[in-house]
Amino acid sequence: MDNQEQECTSTRLLEKQHCPMIIRKSNILDFPIYVGIICDCNLNDLDSIMVNYLSQFKDNAVWSIQGIRQLTGGLSDCVKNYYEDIKPGSVEGIAVLFYVDKMIVSSLRGDFMNHDSCRREFYECLNLMTKL
């Protein structure tokens, strides 16, 4: 292949930067909330996004199973939309997990939903975090 053909065959996969997964924990609603994300963006403001979203539910949340499910999905949407507005296509996966009254509710999207290895890594890291 000549140089022109090689330039035409370049794909995003060849130029892709590998993004690490991070997990952040919050207790703003008096129970553990974990957010895992794989994203290209600067994540320094992730805590403030979580706190801003969850603080509106601190006093008036519906503490039912369905209410917790909706809150989990809503936080996932909020985080995804925030970072996708900054850099479209940057969010590879989001996992949100609430542990409320002996019940775990999780919302998985992207790589966490589609790839067993990502899902397993999230839950294994979460398991390690809770033992430290």
CATH number for the domain running over 20-131: 3.30.1130.10
* Pick from 74, 68, 75, 28: nearest CA to 51: 28
CA dist 79 and 132 (Å) reads: 26
* CA dihedral (99, 105, 108, 114) positive or negative: positive
Output the pLDDT for position 23: 93
Helix (H, G, I), strand (E, B) or coil at 97: strand
CA dist 93 and 101 (Å) reads: 26
Residue with tokens 């909330």: 33
**Domain ranges for the chain:** 20-131
pLDDT in tens, 26-61: 888 888 899 999 998 889 999 999 999 988 877 776
